[in-house]
Amino acid sequence: MSDYDQSRAGMCAAYGCPLFGTVGSDGRWYCFCHINKPAALNDSITRMLREELMSIVESTIDIRRCFSSFYGNEAGYRAIQRRLVEMDRKDLLFNADGRDTPPTPPSGRTMKPVVKMWLMRLERELIEQTGKLGEQERLPLTVPTAPVIGPTHATEHFSEAANRLVDRLPEMGR
């Protein structure tokens, strides 16, 4: 394994992906966004994660790094919240109810399950957004409509015939 990139250890096998490889497939580890996706979509998924979704990506990585516990690390929790507000995704905040209660109660009791639910919400958002990439490719191409050619000749013939009839009217009346 001479081409093994040590800096990518633990990361998703899709080139340049910022997420951890957490799901195995054919001896490689992929993230939850790249797994079971056609290889042709790999780069567009990575680009979407690195560009418009990067704030959410970083948030999920931060939560995983602290093992879903912000006990004694309220600054870490605050940084994630601030990041989500900056990208105008208040619906993804830890407390989407609008109350700013950090997951670190004074009692010292850790709230891992609640933080894990938050992590799931963030990761589900990444799956849904990147999942749209495949759907777009399945849309049918629009066929341009050919310009309509009007029945100009038919109209001409019809009026000529009508004129001939009018010319003959005096004869018929005699």
Which parts of this chain interact with Zn ion (CB under 5 A)? 12, 14, 17, 19, 31, 34
Helix, strand, coil percent values for the chain (each to nearest 5): 50, 5, 45
- As measured in angstroms, the least distance from the Cβ of 33 to Zn ion is 5
- Whether 85 and 77 have beta carbons less than 8 Å apart is answered as no
- As measured in angstroms, the least distance from the Cβ of 67 to Zn ion is 21
Which is closer to Zn ion, CB of 85 or CB of 127?
127
Which is closer to Zn ion, CB of 81 or CB of 133?
133
- As measured in angstroms, the least distance from the Cβ of 133 to Zn ion is 13
Length, in residues, of the chain: 174
- As measured in angstroms, the least distance from the Cβ of 46 to Zn ion is 7
Ramachandran angles phi, psi of 11, nearest 5°? -90, 165
Which is closer to Zn ion, CB of 9 or CB of 141?
9
Which is closer to Zn ion, CB of 14 or CB of 84?
14
Q: Name the residue with tokens 């490889």.
A: 21
